[in-house]
Structure 1
Amino acid sequence: MRRRWLAAVAITMASVLGLAACGGSGGDKAGPTSTGGGESKKQVEVFSWWTGPGEADGLKAMRKIFETNNPQYTFFDAAVAGGSGDKAKALLQSKLQAKTPPDTFQGHAGAELQGYIKNGDLEDLNFLYDELKLRDVFPSQLVDQISVEGKVYSVPVNIHRSNVLWFNPKVLKDAGIAAAPKSIEEFIADLPKVKAKGKIPLSIGSEWTATHLLENVLLGSLGTDAYNALFKPGANWGAPEVTKALDNYKTIMSFTGPPQDDWQPAAQQVAKGEAAFNIMGDWAYGYFHNPPEGGLGLTSKTDFDWAPAPGTEGTYLWLSDSFTLPKGAKNRDGAIAWLKVAASKEGQDAFNPLKGSIPARKDADQSLYKDYLADALKDWSSNKLAGSIQHGVSVNQPWLAAITESVGLFIKDKDVAALQKGLVDAATANAQ
């Protein structure tokens, strides 16, 4: 099993290196570009994994502001396709090791950045936070998550919610389900009702979406305090209540459909009425809601609906996309110019309504955030907080890699005891 998993990693690395050879998704080419008057603009290489509908549109909106405000620079889109950034992060690691960093790269706020900081890959951004007075406009708990020993290492662009249950109202009605399930037990009781109607109970994407589902089942089964305690030194991942949560996970996974290539086709199964439920972050809202050129153009509360993932009402399982300043960047000044756009009210209000996220800034124009996003703004300010596993808040990258390996093996053998041992070993090796 382990050999096959390692072979899969090797294939992934080969594929992302191939992508690097082909250039970014934006179709730009490396090197300075001519302005037509004999002068050359300096490129700013912005590395992300925003290539899908909604997220690519949001990036494009920020790019427009950047190029308008900074005519001396041209934007090089170095995005690498793949939900949650797994392929992008593998390629990024190879670039950092080769001492050829992009000018700025996307990273999840929280523990995910710790490895880059410890390796000396990032400049701290205290100077930028002081200049722009960002500590006054970002929530203090967010600044704490992206700080190490008083230094801030990234600029958060948004806040996402991981624990959202997306569902097709018609499929639920046809299955005799009156409302979205509020508890794990209700969810498990509803899944066979959908299956009996010939529909997929729960759609799922590539392997990372299985880890995403796991964090939601852990939170829904354990509750907020017990979930958050898992990431503290001395946490007991071998406890009976964790076993029960993993048993729930096994049952829920038994009702998933054939794995899709990524989260978008899994979400689309809900949109088409092929599946009842999908547990995915709120970036799915942009995909469901945005017009057809950037999404599916669906009507909320009719074609699709949402609720907190079962058992998680009152808790915001959060993550935040942010941008960094790598040491040795070719165009440091251009990177700082990009970070200023990413941090700005104008940039965040252009980006987030398209991305399906809410702004990291506290002073954003709330009138722009309607429908699902209005609910998210309200809940962010009132809910308990829990940090995402898959999306970099609660665990560092080696810890996540170990969890991902255990989930991958579980998908093949469905062995709860082996999964729990893998999680115990991952925590023992990586918890700080």
Structure 2
Amino acid sequence: MRSRRWSIAASGLGLTLLATACGGGGGAGDQVEVFSWWTGGGEEAGLNALIERFEEQNEGIEFVNAAVAGGSGTNAQAVLEGRLQSQDPPDSFQGHAGASLQDYIEAGYLAPLDDFFDEQGLREAYPDQLVEQISYEDSVYSVPVNIHRSNVMWFNPSLLEEAGVDGPPETLDELVDALEAVDAETDAIPMAVGAQWTVDHLLESVLLGSLGTDAYNALWEPGADWDTPEVAEALETFETIMSHTQEESAAEDWQEASRRVSEGEAAFNVMGDWAAGYFDELGALPGEDYDWAPSPGTDGTYMWLSDSFTLPAGAPNEENAYSWLELVASQEGQDLFNPLKGSIPARSDADPANYADSPYLESALAEWQAGPQLAGSFWHGVTVGNRWKNDIDTAVGLYLQSGDLEALNAALHEAAQSE
């Protein structure tokens, strides 16, 4: 195993975190502890495949799978925060790439990975705009292992035909017309939503589709101006779309909204591409029970989010942590993990043959490798940290109660000014 030249001691963090973890177990050098919330479904299967490959490549190194179940990662993040605060870090932990890691970086919990990126050739393997959007003050702190797309519109082909809608709408105006047609000609829900976060998720696609990629990305600069006619117009479109949804329900998460589409209860749903795997679980047939297209107005742009792995400052088994990061960063590792997870690699050099069994993944990878424009998902932590995200969620929740669109616009503008 090669000698590392980018040790935490040379990272410039100036920290004096403990070099060993009191709760990790085992002696330094003979194990690697990796923390995640991947405990079920395709994500667990993908993780297990990576673990098996790691152990094959690193004989004598025990892999400690410190996954924590529940709460879609919420439980794991609470446990992780406690460990980091008590200077008991795992050797690597899962997180969403981008601004969601900002609090950890500012607290000094993460080591920069610039030298690692250079040594592994990752600046060439990943799209330039991806590296730019995951950087914080010109340094990178995580290794993206996959890409999910947020701006996907799922639809029921039979309901569109029944409503007289000729194919998936390509613009927001066409979407509004299609929703009105479904409302008038069928008994189905025009646009299905679930719990409140799915409305936040819908909002980001409407903003992107209305404003365009550059203007959308500019919204997430600290102090960005949301008090503009363009944002007001986007929010008016959002309000119109919301008038064609059923009432959001905290008891119904994204799966229920997706199920409504495949079973013919709803015509449209805007949800991330993890829905494709759920449709497979339901036994729904692509092209018959459901189909997909980019959210209206966003063709050619990937609104992305990514699972990634980090190197905590004070990792007790730093050398082994780097070996883990090498695997998840590699073409081999990403092509091993992603077909099982139901996502595509963050790298641009994946082998398409590994994704040919999934019509959705095959098409998604082809689009990714064609070099789309990139826009980060705010809801999934790419563009904003936790405080800003929570402020937006609060504003949306108040809007759902009051229906006051001007108050929503004002609250979104205030949230940006607070950064």
Asked if these proteins are the same fold (TM beyond 0.5), I'd say yes
The separation in 1 between residues aligned to 2:28 and 2:315, in whole angstroms, is 19
Aligned match of 1:99: 87
Instruction: Give the letter for the 2:259 counterpart.
Output: Q
The separation in 1 between residues aligned to 2:127 and 2:103, in whole angstroms, is 24
The separation in 2 between residues aligned to 1:406 and 1:270, in whole angstroms, is 28
118-127 vs 135-144, greater mean Cα deviation: 135-144
Q: What does 1:249-398 correspond to in 2, within 5 Å?
A: 249-257=238-246, 258-259=248-249, 260-289=251-280, 295-370=281-356, 371-380=359-368, 381-398=370-387
- Residue from 392, 411, 419 that aligns with 1:422: 411
The separation in 2 between residues aligned to 1:49 and 1:207, in whole angstroms, is 22
Q: Secondary structure of the equivalent of 1:358?
A: coil
Give the conservation status (yes or no) of the 8 Å contact 1:203–1:266: yes
The separation in 2 between residues aligned to 1:41 and 1:121, in whole angstroms, is 21
Cα deviation, residue 350, structure 1: 1.5
Q: What does 1:32-43 correspond to in 2, within 5 Å?
A: none
The separation in 2 between residues aligned to 1:61 and 1:376, in whole angstroms, is 22
Aligned match of 1:141: 129
Aligned match of 1:3: none
Instruction: Give the letter for the 1:420 counterpart.
Output: N
Instruction: Give the letter for the 1:345 counterpart.
Output: Q
Gap change, CA 1:115 and 1:142, over 3 Å in 2: same
The answer to whether the aligner puts 1:190 opposite 2:178 as a matched pair is yes
Q: Secondary structure of the equivalent of 1:128?
A: helix
The separation in 1 between residues aligned to 2:216 and 2:28, in whole angstroms, is 53
The answer for unaligned runs of 5 or more in structure 1 is 1-29, 34-38, 290-294
Gap change, CA 1:403 and 1:301, over 3 Å in 2: same
Gap change, CA 1:226 and 1:148, over 3 Å in 2: closer
The separation in 2 between residues aligned to 1:337 and 1:345, in whole angstroms, is 14
Gap change, CA 1:88 and 1:168, over 3 Å in 2: farther
Q: Secondary structure of the equivalent of 2:304?
A: strand
181-190 vs 380-389, greater mean Cα deviation: 380-389
Aligned match of 1:244: 233
The separation in 1 between residues aligned to 2:400 and 2:148, in whole angstroms, is 26
Cα deviation, residue 273, structure 1: 2.1
The answer for unaligned runs of 5 or more in structure 2 is 1-22
How many residues matched?
A: 390
Aligned match of 1:402: 391
Cα deviations across residues 19-52 of structure 1 (Å, max 9, x unaligned)?
xxxxxxxxxxx8659xxxxx99966443334345
Give the conservation status (yes or no) of the 8 Å contact 2:34–2:63: no
The separation in 1 between residues aligned to 2:76 and 2:48, in whole angstroms, is 18
Gap change, CA 1:354 and 1:333, over 3 Å in 2: same
Gap change, CA 1:363 and 1:165, over 3 Å in 2: same
* TM-score of the superposed pair, with normalisation by structure 1: 0.81
* TM-score of the superposed pair, with normalisation by structure 2: 0.84
How well do the aligned residues superpose, as a CA RMSD in angstroms?
2.7
Instruction: Give the letter for the 1:136 counterpart.
Output: E
Aligned match of 1:4: none
Give the conservation status (yes or no) of the 8 Å contact 1:122–1:327: yes
Identity of aligned residues (%): 54
